[in-house]
Amino acid sequence: MTNSAIGAKGIGAQLYKSLGVQNEIESASPHRLIQMLMVGALGKIFAAKACMENSNISGKGENISMAISIVSGLRASLNFEAGGEIAENLDNLYDYMERRLLEANINNDISILDEVISLLSEIKGAWDIISTDDAQLQAV
């Protein structure tokens, strides 16, 4: 196999993967989209942690930046009118996570990433058990 064939195969695999994700996004319920965002944020934080462990400064920064963007997206999706106190508490928690991720990036601190992983995993666990038929879904 030539290098160009290998490259084309890799590009094809990436395209297929991105199309699969795109299709899932287009057909996902709002509940599922939030789950996907949480999984994405956790994935970026784990990747940043691996980059820290391997002294990959640029990779760490890129992954933390993406994680912050995703958490910011989660914050933006909150419905304060319907969610009331729960939405306010989540807003505060997401804000805290964003600040801690920035601090982890600046200080190269894996323990802060572990803290944010724990917090986000707890929220995701609660979100995962919510039924998609739950009338309170519009609250958060």
* Domain at 92, CATH number: 1.20.120.340
Cβ neighbours for 45, distance < 8 A, ≥ 6 positions apart: 63, 64, 67, 101, 113, 116, 117, 120
In a domain, 61, yes or no: yes
Structural domain boundaries, residue 91: 29-139
Contact 62, 36 (CB under 8 A): no
- Residue 6: its pLDDT value, please? 43
In a domain, 6, yes or no: no
Q: What is the largest CA-CA distance in the chain?
A: 59
Residues 35-78 pLDDT 10s: 899 999 999 999 999 999 999 999 999 999 999 999 999 999 89
Report if pTM > 0.95: no
Question: How many domains is the chain partitioned into structurally?
Answer: 1
In a domain, 24, yes or no: no
Going by pLDDT thresholds of 50, 70 and 90, the confidence category of residue 31 is confident
In a domain, 55, yes or no: yes
In a domain, 20, yes or no: no
